[in-house]
Chain A
């Protein structure tokens, strides 16, 4: 008969002090381990320090701006004419420029993007999805300057003006910028939302189908609420891109700061203004120069609030399925 293999090895025979020694932490491994931890710590710290420095610079220049221009004027004045006499520094026309483009691009992109996500996640055949999703995501790779001139030439000249009339559509208008902006963020909304929906467990879908729900009911009553956290994240990502997008609005939306949500007006956004002044010859320390930072701070406050609001919404409405 073959001798059976001993089940317990030599290491299982150790007892007492020997066993304790064998089970101690091995410091020979430590230097390499510590090096890794240190380098990871460095990477994290560098990005944190950078962020802090950016905020500090922004705050310092903004403070300089408010030494010259009272905060009251910045908030309550309704005109933004820093380079004319008399100079006005009411920030709302620029804020409305941004809101105008944000509003209309969301009106266009949200329904389309979410519909695309629901189609891809709930209706499309796996093969269709395998082809469509990368194609959609490729849209996100188009440089924004291409979108910008597409807005100015094709959208405004070839589509909006023939459609709505030469005299009603100025050459620079918020609508053309909003339309291409919608095209630009569509893949972000569709793709990130689709990921969130695809991650909803199959059991939940089956449960709903088993109760006689149609595909549409499963999508809207089960999958959509369960994926809401991811969907809001997708929308927020898109909002951040629209607010921060510079090239498209600088080229296509115009440079007329005004308080309006009419998409057929020529507007100037916060980023558009910053680019226009940043490219010009305003000397360091002038009000023109520091106004860029004041507007930048405003932009920062807006995105920050949007982030916080989204976090609260997600916490409140997300249906946890784990």
Chain B
């Protein structure tokens, strides 16, 4: 465990002191960032990210609990999608990106020199903002991950189970050969969730999964999330505060202000964050005063 970062208070104090030497930082309120109880799936430590010369995340540190829904909220440009995409190394696909800090998945540093991002993404699946089924049949969409990952087993069964899990089976079971693009927006998004589930991941990242959907389709996806969280760790980015309040167990509020881009302002159990926010900026945001 020589690779893991020392969490003793003296060390963190030292770290903060070094930070202040470099430049004044808007400190999070004491106690505003809570450590969740129970098993931790992902630990983010002092994560900073730059797109070329432009900084997008600054010193984000948080622990994400296993088998819970964690919501990342905040106004546009606060870095919540960027943070989400760090977790399965999606940002690696952007040529100019630079990342500092570390991100542990069950104790393994995902940005370690010998870690293959492809293996990371097999364990940490993703559902995108715009439903993006492949222009292939429904069956081939769900089977895609299994096929590229050399799945040895009953593919038909896997496809059926995944579609059932995504609450789509009853609607498509007679048309598995039909193109995934022939489905409605909400169905397409559930197909994308089924596709992610078929990979048998541990964590599912969702980047504003309902922003392109109507309210009824949105409710279906939200119900599905509550159902899936019994087995999976779900991290969701959302613009919609009601959605965060409805589906998540923990909520993180992020913000970009004049001094710091992409900082984590407050993080804790959803109910506490929405009823008794500890930071003034969180209170302003959730009461609709800006953003």
Tell yes or no: B268 within 8 A of A by CB. Answer: no
- Looking at the complex, which one of A209, A210, A213, A319 makes contact with B136 (CB distance below 8 Å)? A319
Report if A226-B135 is in contact (Cβ < 8 Å); known contacts: A210-B196, A221-B144. Answer: yes
List residues 213-247 of chain A with CB under 8 A from any CB of chain B. 213-214, 217, 221-222, 225-226
Tell yes or no: A58 within 8 A of B by CB. Answer: no
Tell yes or no: B158 within 8 A of A by CB. Answer: no
Report if A208-B118 is in contact (Cβ < 8 Å); known contacts: A126-B95, A319-B135, A321-B181. Answer: no
Tell yes or no: A49 within 8 A of B by CB. Answer: no
Tell yes or no: B145 within 8 A of A by CB. Answer: yes
- A27-64 interface mask toward B, CB cutoff 8 Å, 1 = contact, 0 = none? 00000000000000000000000000000000000000
List residues 110-157 of chain B with CB under 8 A from any CB of chain A. 118-119, 121-122, 125-126, 128, 130, 132-136, 144-145, 147-149
Tell yes or no: B192 within 8 A of A by CB. Answer: yes
Residues of the B chain whose Cβ atoms lie less than 8 Å from the Cβ of A211: 121-122, 125, 144-145, 148, 195-196, 199
- A133-153 interface mask toward B, CB cutoff 8 Å, 1 = contact, 0 = none? 000000000000000000000
- Looking at the complex, which one of B90, B95, B119, B149 makes contact with A209 (CB distance below 8 Å)? B90
B96: nearest chain-A partner, CB-CB: A126
Q: Are A206 and B181 closer than 8 Å at their CB atoms?
A: no
Report if A208-B134 is in contact (Cβ < 8 Å); known contacts: A213-B118, A213-B148, A221-B144. Answer: yes
Task: Tell me what chain A mostly uses at the interface: helix, strand, loop, or mixed.
Answer: helix
Name B residues whose Cβ lies closer than 8 Å to a Cβ of A.
88, 90, 93, 95, 118-119, 121-122, 125-126, 128, 130, 132-136, 144-145, 147-149, 179, 181, 192, 195-196, 199
Expressed in whole angstroms, the minimum distance between the Cβ of B90 and any Cβ of chain A is 7
Q: Are B128 and A212 closer than 8 Å at their CB atoms?
A: no
A125–B95 Cα distance when bound, in Å, is: 8
Residues of the A chain whose Cβ atoms lie less than 8 Å from the Cβ of B122: 211-212
A213: nearest chain-B partner, CB-CB: B148
Tell yes or no: A320 within 8 A of B by CB. Answer: yes
A201–B196 Cα distance when bound, in Å, is: 19
Q: Are A210 and B125 closer than 8 Å at their CB atoms?
A: yes
A127: nearest chain-B partner, CB-CB: B95
Beyond A207-B192, A211-B121, A221-B148, 7 additional pairs, beta carbon < 8 A: A204-B132, A206-B128, A208-B148, A210-B90, A210-B125, A211-B195, A221-B147
Tell yes or no: A281 within 8 A of B by CB. Answer: no
Expressed in whole angstroms, the minimum distance between the Cβ of A169 and any Cβ of chain B is 46
Q: Are B149 and A320 closer than 8 Å at their CB atoms?
A: no
A204–B136 Cα distance when bound, in Å, is: 11
Q: Which 3 A-B pairs have the closest CB atoms?
A: A212-B122, A319-B135, A210-B126
Name A residues whose Cβ lies closer than 8 Å to a Cβ of B.
125-126, 201, 203-214, 217, 221-222, 225-226, 319-321
A320–B192 Cα distance when bound, in Å, is: 17
Report if A222-B134 is in contact (Cβ < 8 Å); known contacts: A206-B90, A212-B148. Answer: yes
Expressed in whole angstroms, the minimum distance between the Cβ of B18 and any Cβ of chain A is 34
Residues of the B chain whose Cβ atoms lie less than 8 Å from the Cβ of A222: 134
A222–B180 Cα distance when bound, in Å, is: 14
Residues of the B chain whose Cβ atoms lie less than 8 Å from the Cβ of A226: 134-135
A211: nearest chain-B partner, CB-CB: B145
A93–B148 Cα distance when bound, in Å, is: 47
Q: Are A208 and B144 closer than 8 Å at their CB atoms?
A: yes
Residues of the A chain whose Cβ atoms lie less than 8 Å from the Cβ of B121: 209-212
A43–B262 Cα distance when bound, in Å, is: 57
A217: nearest chain-B partner, CB-CB: B148
Residues of the B chain whose Cβ atoms lie less than 8 Å from the Cβ of A321: 135, 181
Expressed in whole angstroms, the minimum distance between the Cβ of B2 and any Cβ of chain A is 29
A138–B244 Cα distance when bound, in Å, is: 55
A34–B120 Cα distance when bound, in Å, is: 62
Q: Are A212 and B199 closer than 8 Å at their CB atoms?
A: yes
A319–B136 Cα distance when bound, in Å, is: 7
Which of B95, B118, B130, B135 is most buried by chain A, counting CB atoms within 10 A of its CB? B135
- Looking at the complex, which one of B119, B128, B133, B181 makes contact with A210 (CB distance below 8 Å)? B128
Q: Are A320 and B199 closer than 8 Å at their CB atoms?
A: no
Residues of the A chain whose Cβ atoms lie less than 8 Å from the Cβ of B144: 208, 211, 213, 221
A226–B125 Cα distance when bound, in Å, is: 22
A75–B136 Cα distance when bound, in Å, is: 44
Q: Are A207 and B118 closer than 8 Å at their CB atoms?
A: no
Residues of the B chain whose Cβ atoms lie less than 8 Å from the Cβ of A126: 95
Which of B126, B130, B148, B196 is most buried by chain A, counting CB atoms within 10 A of its CB? B148
Q: Are B149 and A225 closer than 8 Å at their CB atoms?
A: no
A221–B141 Cα distance when bound, in Å, is: 11
